[in-house]
Structure 1
Amino acid sequence: MARVGAELRRQDFVEATVKVIAEHGVANATTRRIAAAAGCPLASLHYVFHTKDDLLYAVYESLFNLPHQALTNVPAGTTAAETTAEMLRQLVTWFSTNPDIAKAQTELFFWAMRNNPEMATRIYAVAIEATEQAMEKAIGTQFDKAFLKATSRLLVHLVDGLIIAWSAHGDLARLEAETETACEAVALLVASR
């Protein structure tokens, strides 16, 4: 039997955790269930991740980085308002095409708020910072830092709200319509500056 490297095993556990959380929720995502979903011994999971919180944070980091890759699809050469709206559209589109990841990320964040507020605060800070960096890269430095940070927060709030609403109503056409309304609002805000 060939040995699997710790980094590959780590990724297997992260992917299995996403599936388990999407199907059973964080509260029922036991390490035993995660190890079984990864097809690995439980001892391997505990070797790679010393605590369940370490595993859950690694999952969140992994989940957070994936949708931000969608921001590379934002077209260049548009106005700052159009670019910001397109960033929102791309993020929501990414989540809607990856519903298990959307569900797992939402579940994980709400779990962290109840059980590990410090982790929730850290997770949210990372989301805001990454969104701000993506915005700055996409639209340049034409806005002051305070406006950029506030707009980044707004994008994160809108994505979260739209995805949570979609989880409740399950209507993709409605999600797309609501996303367009949010994109128009963000574009108007940015254009007003």
Structure 2
Amino acid sequence: MSIDSLPEVSFSEVFSQALQGHPCSVVGIGAEPLPLPVADWTRDADDVDHSLLRHCIGATLDVGCGPGRLTARLAELGHVVLGIDVVGEAVRQTRGRGVAALVRDIFDRLPGEGRWQSALLADGNVGIGGDPVALLRRLREVLDPRGRIVVELAGPGVGVESVWAALECGDARSRPFRWSVVGVDAIHEVAAQAGLAVVGTHVHGERWSAVLEEAA
């Protein structure tokens, strides 16, 4: 069966297969299909993850929590934490780690709106929806006005790129979805468009992040 003739199914169905251990690739972000790094998401949090999470303060919303390694570590660190994800299998695995999670889109009504002290966008989840400015504006509604967004980014020189992407797993391909990649060199402009300020950028091993707060 050729790639072009693969049957299209929902994103959730294909991502669920990936989380269950089936090899999966993402197409459309780079010139070639990229293996989905599921093993990095299903393992326990490591020291590099911990370095990223130390920027979260207080009650934290883990947006696009996946199988919950960071949600669980935040709970271990003493945070009140809730993971949200649009994929039921991701939420099931997060709950299996003993932490709270909901099947919910970030643009849906959420528990505790306006009271969360931190929102976490890790593992490239600043790309959710393909419009980083709209995503950050939505998180401003979710957060306490004194709260912060901890966002993992691509490295320097990437800028901002928004594409149509899809997941391929076995003999199925997901329906196309919008996704964005934001480099650390572009986050100041993206944040400003969302009414936020960058209060710090950080390197964690080979990973980059920024902390965003309400602009003065």
When the two structures are superposed, what TM-score results if normalisation uses the length of structure 2? 0.25
Which has more radius of gyration? Answer: 1
Q: Relative to total residues, which structure has the larger strand share, 1 or 2?
A: 2
Q: Relative to total residues, which structure has the larger helix share, 1 or 2?
A: 1
